Amino acid sequence: MEKKKIIVVGGGAAGFFCAIQIAELHPHWEISILEKTNKLLSKVKVSGGGRCNVTHACPDIEMLLQKYPRGTRFLKKAFYQFATQNTIEWFKNNSVELHTEKDGRMFPTTNSSDTIIDCFLRKVHQYKIQVLTQHEVLDVQNNNWSTDITEGNENKENKVQKNFSIQLQGREPIQADAICLATGGMLKSDRLKWLTNFGHTIVDPVPSLFTFNTVDKKITTLMGVAVDRASIQWRGNKNFEVGPLLITHWGISGPAAIKLSAWCAREMAATNYEGAIQINWTSNFNESTLKMEWINFRMDFGKREMGSKNPFELPQRLWHFLLGEAGIALNTKWADLKSTNQQVLIQLLTRTTLDIKGKTTFKEEFVTCGGVDLKDIDAQTMESKLVPGLHFAGEMMDVDGITGGFNFQHAWTSGWLAAQHMAGQ
């Protein structure tokens, strides 16, 4: 096969993985990564609190697909070719062992993102992949479409050597046979005019994976209180999440809240992050099942003071707060609880409603909901359906996952598929 020149735009997770995969198949091809900043793999570095949550221990593809609020159908074809098991094996074959935490998240055993970065830099060095920082791509032209407009040659196709011309900020253009765009999230369509000129559409980008700012600050007096298993729902939306919740000085955080923000990212953006969340602190009961169970509580704990007997294993500070909100003194005996207070307490336990105004992305795994519309991308090859030879990888596409290693998994999968196609596999 003739030696080809491949350009990968973006020195992040998807771009590096893609470039390395092509080089593994064609070590002698000319492969370059163009990165606009002077930093490489900067998100990998800070990811997972500096530990890099590489993927998730989820070998079942159908279950894996459920972790992506956007892109599920598209990813189905992709994951059947390269998914979590392939990621684990690839890193293992490249001397990076991963370990699994209780919740399924997988990290390098060193618990340092530098292990992943070092691995990629080693591979790039091994295959002599050219990595060019401060190379910002401004425009991409498809040379096969260009026409020679010199006198007498109007409308005659100008056969140039390479398929693409890549225009750079303050530098000479570069030519390439094939190209993979892996420029990450929060795409602004005005900066990608050339992509929209090709006919691609950009689904409006909005943030995903954030925490909620509560209007009523009373709850925030419980700052630092964590509940292992609660359920949380955005009022008016069918999606809910069950898992750990954390009360912070600005509102509600924790894995279940952050995951919920992914499922409702677009709806919440549409309301400018104003609305309400409903929390069921017990998660195992709903209002009517808890009412039934309450009869047993009264019988079992009748003589106990409510402040000291909390049947839900809730943190004491939260339990006392809820009793206070229901107008129940801590020394009230279970048997003496008035039915009106009981009704309020059951409602608070199963449906605490908190008004929300605004979001916080402090230190969270912020990702973009939106990006290049999937309708014009081939899910098996990541190639544009509009421009042959143009490929996409990573967060720049309209795919995003909840927290837990799913966003990197998408970066590896799409980078791998784009590489296979460009390598002619």
Ligand X SMILES: Cc1cc2nc3c(=O)[nH]c(=O)nc-3n(C[C@H](O)[C@H](O)[C@H](O)COP(=O)(O)OP(=O)(O)OC[C@H]3O[C@@H](n4cnc5c(N)ncnc54)[C@H](O)[C@@H]3O)c2cc1C
Tell me how far, at minimum, the Cβ of 33 lies from ligand X, in Å.
9
198 binds ligand X (CB under 6 A): no
Length of the chain: 425
* 413 vs 58: CA distance, rounded Å: 14
List the one residue from 4, 6, 10, 106 that touches ligand X (CB under 6 A): 10
Compute how many residues bind ligand X; rule: CB under 6 A.
Answer: 34
Task: Decide: is 87 part of the binding site for ligand X (CB under 6 A).
Answer: no
Residue 34 binds ligand X, judged by CB under 6 A: yes
With contact defined as beta carbons under 8 Å apart, do 101 and 107 qualify? yes
Decide: is 177 part of the binding site for ligand X (CB under 6 A): no
Shortest distance (Å) from residue 22 CB to ligand X:
15
Q: Does 64 bind ligand X (CB under 6 A)?
A: no
Residue 365 near ligand X by CB under 6 A: yes
Which C-beta is closer to ligand X: that of 389 or that of 394?
Answer: 394
Residue 327: strand, helix, or coil: coil
| Upper half-sphere CA count for residue 323 (Cβ side, 13 Å) | 23
CA 94 – CA 88 distance, rounded (Å): 10
Task: State the minimum distance, in angstroms, from the CB of residue 347 to ligand X.
Answer: 37
Amino acid at 14: A
Which of these ranges, 154-162, 179-187, 270-278, 338-346, lies near ligand X under the rule CB under 6 A?
Answer: 179-187
Residue choice 7, 26, 35, 420 for contact with ligand X (CB under 6 A)? 35
At residue 272, the 3 state secondary structure works out as coil
Confirm or reject binding of residue 366 to ligand X (CB under 6 A).
yes
What contacts 149, CB < 8 A, 6 or more positions away? none
Give the tokens for residue 131: 């990595």
Does 210 sit near ligand X (CB under 6 A)? no
d(CA 351, CA 261): 18
Q: Check residue 69 for interaction with ligand X (CB under 6 A).
A: no
Considering the rule CB under 6 A, would residue 53 count as an interface residue with ligand X? yes
Determine which residue in the list 15, 243, 251, 254 makes contact with ligand X, applying CB under 6 A.
15
**Residue 318 CB, nearest approach to ligand X (Å):** 28
Query: What does the alpha-carbon distance between residue 419 and residue 394 come to, in Å, rounded to a whole number?
Result: 12
Binding residue for ligand X, selected from 214, 231, 407, 420, defined by CB under 6 A: 407
Residue 413 binding ligand X, by CB under 6 A: no
d(CA 92, CA 368): 29
Site for ligand X (CB under 6 A): which residue of 27, 28, 37, 173?
37
Residues in 135-154 at the binding interface with ligand X, rule: CB under 6 A: 136-137
Partners of 34 in the beta sheet?
9, 132
255 binds ligand X (CB under 6 A): no
Q: Among 43, 67, 70, 320, which residue sits at the site for ligand X (rule: CB under 6 A)? A: 43
User: Residue 310: CB partners within 8 Å, gap ≥ 6?
Assistant: 316, 319
Residue with smaller CB distance to ligand X, 131 or 137: 137
Using CB under 6 A, which of 13, 195, 247, 399 touches ligand X? Answer: 13
Listed ranges 33-41, 142-150, 223-231, 278-286: which one lies at the site for ligand X (CB under 6 A): 33-41
Q: Which stretch binds ligand X (CB under 6 A): 6-14, 71-79, 286-294, 330-338?
A: 6-14
Find the helix packing angle between 339-351 and 287-301, rounded to 10°: 130
Q: Are strands 226-234 and 240-247 parallel, antiparallel or unpaired?
A: antiparallel
270 φ, ψ to 5°? -65, -30
Contact call for residues 325 and 347 (beta carbons, < 8 A):
no
Note whether 12 binds ligand X by CB under 6 A.
yes
CA dist list (Å): 204 to 132, 234, 258, 398: 29, 21, 21, 9
Alpha-carbon gap, residue 259 to 353, rounded angstroms: 18
Q: Which residues bind ligand X (CB under 6 A)?
A: 9-15, 34-37, 42-43, 46-48, 52-53, 136-137, 182-184, 365-367, 394-396, 405-408, 411
